């Protein structure tokens, strides 16, 4: 059997991914990538869809992903980012969704593409912005650890949501929130120190779940 194919970009570092699963790792999926796969041989194939392009190119549209998901010899699994979005749209047609972000979209807790959208350096897949869902996640963790109050968590999330997704980052978010809410300056400085050392990623966690699933079914 061929190695699983995984479309992976900035969500999880490639060197971390290969420690979990020996796969054919490819850059974030763009329009046309899945059409090419659907024309391959009839051999059983596992395809993990994590990252897709947003601004750099056209992403795979639902109809293209549908054609791959309905192939009998292909198991298509989505998580974390655009993969989670497409899995929600196409679950009834055979695409499998994995992870918390998939569940949040499926249950309607979040419903906008910009929750997972980021910008990154093509080729190196280095992040240039932060995903809204990961900002929410880190604000929640900071709140649970007593770094910020619930009110500050909600206020920061609201301001982050108002920033166009390619420009979302913690430095600008904290500075903008301090300008609008000077009374919580010290609290935000505590969060600034916290995020430098403790930044986490729900998208990365879900990507790991997808890779572990593929390891289980493909070996």
Tokens, residue 64: 């293209």
> How confident is the model over 86-113, as a mean pLDDT?
96
Q: Report helix angle 82-90 to 62-69, nearest 10.
A: 70
> How confident is the model over 97-117, as a mean pLDDT?
96
Are the C-beta atoms of 201 and 50 separated by less than 8 Å?
no
pLDDT at 219 over 90: no
Which tens digits make up the pLDDT trace of 130-176? 999 999 999 999 999 999 999 999 999 999 999 999 999 999 999 99
What predicted TM-score, i.e. pTM, was given to this entire model?
0.93
pLDDT at 54 over 70: yes
pLDDT at 41 over 70: no
Are the C-beta atoms of 22 and 14 separated by less than 8 Å?
no
pLDDT at 40 over 80: no
DSSP string for residues in 20-61: H---EEEPSB-TTHHHHHHTS-SS-EEEEE--B-SSSSPPPP
Residue 182 DSSP label: G
Quick one: pLDDT band at residue 92, thresholds 50, 70, 90? very high
Mean pLDDT estimate for the chain: 93
Nearest to 49 by CA among 60, 40, 35: 60
Quick one: pLDDT band at residue 122, thresholds 50, 70, 90? confident
């Amino acid at each position: 059997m061929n190695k699983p194919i995984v479309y992976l970009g900035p969500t999880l570092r490639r060197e971390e991914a290969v420690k979990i699963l020996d796969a054919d790792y490819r850059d974030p999926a763009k329009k046309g990538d899945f059409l090419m796969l659907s024309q391959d041989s009839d051999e059983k194939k596992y395809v993990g869809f994590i990252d897709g392009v947003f601004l750099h190119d056209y992403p795979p549209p639902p109809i293209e992903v549908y054609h791959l998901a309905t192939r009998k010899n292909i198991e298509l699994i989505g998580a974390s980012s655009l993969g989670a979005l497409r899995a929600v749209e196409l679950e009834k047609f055979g695409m499998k969704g994995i992870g918390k972000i998939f569940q949040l979209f499926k249950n309607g807790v979040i419903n906008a593409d910009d929750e997972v959208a980021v910008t990154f350096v093509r080729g190196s897949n280095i992040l240039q912005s932060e995903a809204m869902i990961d900002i929410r996640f880190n604000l929640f963790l900071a709140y649970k650890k007593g770094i910020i109050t619930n009110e500050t968590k909600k206020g920061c999330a609201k301001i982050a949501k108002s920033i166009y997704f390619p420009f979302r980052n913690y430095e600008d978010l904290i500075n903008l929130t301090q300008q609008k809410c000077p009374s919580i300056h010290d609290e935000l400085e505590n969060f600034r120190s916290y995020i430098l050392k403790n930044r986490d990623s729900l998208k990365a966690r879900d990507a790991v779940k997808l890779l572990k699933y593929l390891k289980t079914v493909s070996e």
